[in-house]
Chains A and B, each alone.
Chain A
């Protein structure tokens, strides 16, 4: 059994003269995807929010996908993009946290460290032409220091006071740039997040009316159960839309 390097796409296949080639697999395009994640710092910590949809192209296949998860004691991670790659990332991160806990030395990995680890993973997979097809938001608090960072599938990463992925960058970030303040209380922060989630619900085709908010403070993490927002459709334009139209449609 010998290894053969294909110069076309860099994939490595095992070639056995008796058997046929088995080429190694890579993520070519995403299949089941999650849409935007919104994250922002507030007075006591960090809030992450997302909807719970898993789309299969234009089909809304899964309606209860948890796209925000806890990583260790100090971090929350929210993922958009390919859901199976997010599950793979959770395997990497859970293993990282486990080995850190096994040292049992009183230290624990904070959000900065987890973000750095994730940056390297995403960048290295991109270098091997086999990306984890995700845009991730990492938020956390450690010893009073709030942290919010993001990384995408090619390894671009940065931190800010408020972040979003996908459509959230276009629709939610402008609202946050205008209305975010350093000293938002939890209730005010949730109101601001809900304003962003509502815009995404109206304007992002792949979002659904089932949202999850998670908060992390020095005291701990809470991932709230999913809930729906009130929408308004009573615009005069939507009433009797075919009035004045010639023909049957």
Chain B
């Protein structure tokens, strides 16, 4: 049995969202851990604070997610020792991509959304697939509820087409409170229809003054 099949992976569900603003970034994820039709626990965080200005949210297989977060946190510590400064969001973005591709033939079953502030203090969101393909965007969502949330964000954030020239800024003109309210709304909606999303929402806001955490109760059914 150990020689074949996909016993080594399981999908623990959950949804992650990140929205980049002019001078802030919102990263949010629900806290439900499930397997199949069971809820394992209602209070498990999917968000990892990697650096002063970098926050990672991942959904997928919890064993791989935890290992990935630990890996990146350790690499960040090494970076600090070697360079005497914190890693910037774009740098961590590249590191995450390389870390994921390193295991291209036995992947981390983790769907990631990296959020933070870039070197100019502007909001910065990177979105990934399981093997490291990534792109900088104005907003993104990954996980079981992503197909429910992405169209709503597309509609509300009215991101300019990436095909326009000169390239337009993808960050949203919404204020911080408006963005947080939008995140709360999309999660409440996703919770209604996605069985793997619910219980509690953890919202992390990164701006010039640091990292702030907020919680919102979601439906528990």
Chain A positions within 8 Å of B, measured between CB atoms, are: 8-9, 26-29, 119, 123, 126-127, 129-131, 154-160, 169-170
Contacts and interface: CB of A to CB of B under 8 A. Distances in A.
A156 B1 contact: no
A28 B2 contact: yes
Nearest to B37: A170
A155 B1 contact: no
A154 B67 contact: no
Contact of B2 (A27, A157, A158): A27
B8 to A, nearest CB: 6
A158 B3 contact: no
B63 A9 contact: no
A26 B9 CA distance: 18
A135 to B, nearest CB: 11
A108 to B, nearest CB: 24
Interface string B24-45: 0000000001010010110110
Contact of A157 (B1, B3, B62): B62
A170 B41 CA distance: 13
Contacts of B2: 26-29, 129-131
Contacts of A8: 3
B6 to A, nearest CB: 10
B109 to A, nearest CB: 10
Given A28-B2, A154-B8, A158-B33, A170 B38 contact: yes
A85 B74 CA distance: 30
Interface in B30-72: 33, 35, 38, 40-41, 43-44, 61-64, 66-67
B191 interface: no
A230 B40 CA distance: 30
B35 A156 contact: yes
5 contacts: A26-B2, A131-B8, A154-B8, A155-B67, A156-B12
Contacts of A160: 41, 43
A154 B41 contact: no
B38 A157 contact: no
A126 B63 contact: yes
A174 to B, nearest CB: 10
A129 B8 contact: yes
B10 interface: yes
